[in-house]
Amino acid sequence: MKDQYTYRVTWSREDGEYVGLCAEFPSLSWLAQTPEEAFSGIRRLVSDCISDMRDEGEIAPKPIADRTYSGKFLVRVPPETHAALVLRAAEQGVSLNRLVSARLANDSG
């Protein structure tokens, strides 16, 4: 199987080392002295985990990049927050959907 999972390497101040992470396997991590070692370590760990899952008849998670998204999701907020967002959208002359999606887009970049 081709490795198409989503990896990230970051510095762990707590551990004093780089930590390799995989978004599709949030419980796994790999500590190393260099970013390159953390990256290769987490990739090996994920590969071993997938092998174990196959041996046990389990299905590995689908890579995020291979998933399809509708562009819709439900968010529950307190009624006061909902009211404040509706008011803000009205004041800006936009729909609630446009206001919230614009704010999310600004926060995700």
pTM over 0.75: no
**Span 44-53, pLDDT tens digits:** 999 999 999 9
pLDDT bucket at 107, cuts 50 / 70 / 90? confident
Closest CA to 6 of 69, 62, 71: 62
Q: Kind and range of the H or E element at 54?
A: helix 35-55
pLDDT in tens, 61-103: 999 999 999 999 899 999 999 999 999 999 999 999 999 999 9
**pLDDT tens string 24-61:** 999 999 999 999 999 999 999 999 999 999 999 999 99
CA distances from 106 to 9, 101, 102, 103, 109 (A): 23, 9, 6, 5, 6
Look up tokens 């490795």; give the residue: 3
Delimit the domains of the chain by residue range: 7-64, 69-108
Q: How many CA atoms lie within 13 A of 52 on its CB side?
A: 6
